[in-house]
């Protein structure tokens, strides 16, 4: 869906997984969420590591570094789902901001389906903004990975030696605020224009009065111009224009 600046609450979400295909049994092993209200990060975040009861693929492990041993004592998805849903508060219809949303939502749909195969998909009815698509629209033909966007918007991603759901959500929140800042700026420009029009209209209603410089002011101006010409010589622009016109 399109970016909705009127939305009051955004949840920036990211996951880490054991692989790339939930259809092959790969699982979510980390969820991170950052809350933004009225374009400000609130600090009300959600973060959990999950025991998936399986190993990560070698490629995935190189990305996030979350080993099966590290996750062995962590809760399973079923243990945290109620807390997760309470945090999301989906009845209030927050906007869910995800970079490459289809990937994360595919995994979350699979996790919810394991709990209740008859229930509608978790993603059904969500108000989702794919920040990758927003970035591609803003910067067509350019790299729009999270790292590339952090570099483009001067957001410090030096801590991102490995991917992590909470860290990546934090970075994405800053990126998304920068990505959508132009829309807020446009609204501000319109407001400023309206104020300028009003001031201009007021000025047109004021009586006009011609104010001439005094002889003393003219003399000080002449002295100033002569001093500048003495310093700049032929580099004085108005002198060049005068010669060209003359």
pLDDT tens over the chain, length 246 residues: 334 444 589 999 999 999 999 999 999 999 999 999 999 999 999 999 999 999 999 999 999 999 999 999 999 999 999 999 999 999 999 999 999 999 999 999 999 999 999 999 999 999 999 999 999 999 999 999 999 999 999 999 998 888 999 999 999 999 999 999 865 444 334 334 444 454 455 445 545 555 677 777 777 777 767 666 665 555 556 566 566 655
Contacts of 190 (CB under 8 A, 6+ apart): none
Cβ proximity of 155 and 171 under 8 Å:
yes
Name the one residue in this structure whose structure tokens are 């759901």.
165
Q: What's the pLDDT score for residue 16?
A: 98
163 catalytic, yes or no?
yes
Q: Which of 26, 99, 163, 221 is catalytic?
A: 163
CA distance 60 to 78: 23
Domain with CATH 3.30.420.10 in the chain: 9-181
Please state which CATH number belongs to domain 9-181: 3.30.420.10
Query: Could you please report the per-residue DSSP string of 109-125?
Result: HHHHHHH-TTSPPTTTT
pTM higher than 0.95: no
> What is the per-residue pLDDT for 215?
78
Tokens found for residue 235: 């580099």
Distance, in Å, from the CA atom of 229 to the CA atom of 226, rounded to the nearest integer, reads 5
């Amino acid at each position: 869906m399109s970016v909705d600046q009127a939305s009051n609450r955004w949840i920036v979400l990211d996951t880490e997984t054991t692989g790339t295909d939930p259809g092959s049994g790969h699982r979510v092993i980390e969820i991170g969420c950052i809350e933004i209200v009225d374009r400000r990060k609130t600090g009300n975040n959600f973060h959990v590591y999950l025991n998936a009861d399986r190993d990560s693929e070698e490629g995935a492990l190189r990305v996030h570094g979350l080993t099966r041993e590290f996750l062995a004592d962590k809760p399973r998805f079923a243990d945290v789902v109620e807390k997760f849903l309470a945090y999301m508060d989906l009845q209030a219809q927050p906007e869910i901001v995800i970079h490459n949303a289809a990937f994360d939502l595919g995994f979350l749909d699979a996790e919810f389906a394991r709990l209740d195969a008859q229930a509608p998909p978790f993603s059904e009815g969500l108000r989702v903004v794919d920040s990758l698509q927003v970035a591609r629209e803003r910067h067509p033909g350019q790299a729009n990975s999270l790292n590339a966007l952090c570099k483009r918007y001067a957001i410090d991603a030096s801590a991102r030696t490995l991917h992590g759901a909470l860290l990546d959500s934090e970075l994405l929140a800053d990126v998304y605020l920068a990505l959508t800042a132009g829309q807020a700026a446009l609204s501000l420009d319109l407001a400023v224009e309206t104020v300028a029009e009003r001031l201009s209209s007021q000025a047109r209603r004021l009586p006009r009065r011609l104010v001439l410089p005094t002889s003393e002011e003219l003399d000080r101006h002449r002295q100033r111009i002569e001093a500048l010409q003495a310093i700049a010589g032929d580099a004085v622009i108005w002198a060049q224009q005068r010669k060209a016109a003359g």
